[in-house]
Structure 1
Amino acid sequence: MKLIWSPETASRAYIDTVKSCEKLRESGVPELLSAMAAGWGAKLIVESWSQGDPIATSIGLAMAARHTRGRHVCIVPDEISRSEYVNATRNAGVMPEVVVGEAEAATGAGVDFLVVDCKGRDFSRVLMRAKVSPKGAVFACKNACQRNVSGFKWHGAVEKGTRVVRTVFLPVGKGLDIAHIGYGAGGGNVVQSNKKGPSRWIKHIDHRSGEEHLFWE
């Protein structure tokens, strides 16, 4: 099995997120992550969240889960964060599943799409504990320019037995560091990158600032 991209599903999730987040004035990160999660058909979407953080990314991931008919699970560090998160998402009209403090419980069922915030203290632990689904997964680190781990490298940051197929850093928001994760040669099904198809430039436009970002796929 391997990840299969659906541009139609990605577009629908993107548009829904733009509409849902238009008053939150985020940086374009929620829309991009929503489109990616939906486009890859993610059935288990997991994110981490801490008290005081914006919820726009959660709204975007919830939109993606609706289009893929998947689960959206959020890991929070404590009960105070849980209460704030539940109230905020309820007011936004979405209701993700919430897990308090247990990365293993949320990421042990085969993650397809994972989002962590590099400002959080435990983001590296969540990456390491995440169980990759049989078809592979996409891991995204937002606020990567504020990463509190020096010398971070994807190789060695994820579960043993998996491998990093491809990475890309996007100058969106305060930095998005994204990796396509598959199984290593000795770890079961290997998720191959598409070597036969041509690479291409992907354009992302921040609809609030008007900025245009290009990245190579």
Structure 2
Amino acid sequence: MKLVWCPETASKAYIDTVKYNPRICVVGDATHIQYWRPCEVFEESSVAELISAMAGGWKPQLIVETWYHGGAVTTSVGLAVASRHTCGRHVCVVPDEQTRLDYTEAMRNACDMSPEVIVGEVEEVMGDLVGIDFLVVDCRLKDFARILSIAKLSHRGAVLVCKNSSPRTYSTFRWRTVMGSRSRIVRSAYLPVGKGLEIAYVATSGGSLSPGKATSRWVRHIDQLSGEEHVYRR
């Protein structure tokens, strides 16, 4: 088995996430609307909607994310919406009890959904989370690459998302280096959404393509900073 894309669930997750991130409000009363203006635009709101659609579309059964003190919870809202549509498990990993309280309070104020929150060192917690098929980490965490490398992914494959991926991070980040030989990078992309998203769809080493049977292919890459196009074979 492998992850299969479902556009209907992706659309539902996207639309429902938009409802939690209103961007337009009315100035005036119901009988006399003076004008329209943007409401508070939540940080990372566009990222939340995109990630929610991705999580809904791939229909993962175990969604895992990391959160740190002071971070926005819009992505968490999007993942919570997606997990509701896919009937999957949504877990947020936080480092300590105070962070858990802050996260829980922020989610309570943002929506009517509350994911499962696990407190502990990321490396220890990730060891107990087996079969991850959708993982979201924050590139502002110094050990985000380590989190990706130790995650126990599903045998169906997984979608990995790194948010807040700055151009500097993008220029030095290499999925193959992070994931090693245990997973095959089926497709990866950098999206200039929000503060940057690194996304990869990976197949575990037990997938249909066995070691020693890989076929080379031409890859087209456009440098996001210079605009130069590079074509190479791998």
TM-score (norm 1): 0.80
Aligned runs of 1:30-179 on 2, under 5 Å?
30-92=48-110, 93-103=112-122, 104-106=124-126, 108-145=129-166, 151-158=172-179, 160-179=181-200
Specify the SS of the correspondent of 1:53: coil
CA contact (8 A) 1:46 1:106 kept: no
Across the aligned residues of Structure 1 and Structure 2, the Cα RMSD in angstroms comes to 2.1
What residue number does 1:215 align with?
Answer: none
On the 8 A contact 2:126/2:150 being kept in 1, the answer is no
Unmatched tracts of structure 2, length 5 or more? 23-39, 211-234
In proportion to residue count, which structure has more strand?
2
Number of the residue aligned with 1:26: 43
Q: How far is 1:156 from its partner? A: 2.2
Preserved contact between residue 116 and residue 142 of structure 1 (Cα < 8 Å) = yes
In structure 1, the partner of 2:36 is: none
* Distance in 1 separating the partners of 2:136 and 2:102: 19
Query: Secondary structure of 2:12's partner?
Result: helix
Post-superposition offset of 1:9: 0.2
Q: Which has the higher helix share?
A: 2
Corresponding residue SS for 2:166 = helix
> C-alpha deviations, 1:171-192, integer Å up to 9, x for none?
10011110011123xxx22379
Work out whether residues 130 and 159 of structure 1, in 8 Å CA contact, stay in contact via their aligned partners in 2.
no
| Cα distance in 2 between the residues matched to 1:66 and 1:125 | 29
Deviation sequence 1:32-77 (CA, Å, 0-9, x none) = 0000001001110011110000000000000000000001101112
- What SS is found at the alignment partner of 2:5? coil
What amino acid is aligned across from residue 162 of structure 1 in structure 2? Answer: S
Give the Cα separation in 1 of the matches to 2:62 and 2:163: 18
The whole-number CA distance in structure 1 between the counterparts of 2:50 and 2:207 is 28
Size of the aligned set, in residue pairs, is 189
Q: For 2:100 and 2:56, how far apart are their aligned partners in 1?
A: 25
TM-score by length of 2: 0.75
Change (3 A) 1:120 1:178: same
Residues 5 and 41 of structure 1 are in contact (CA less than 8 Å); yes or no, is this contact kept in structure 2? yes
For the residues of structure 1 that align with 2:69 and 2:157, how far apart are their CA atoms?
30
Structure 1 CA distance, aligned partners of 2:170 and 2:150? 17
Q: Secondary structure at the match of 2:85?
A: helix
Unaligned runs of 5+ in 1: 193-217
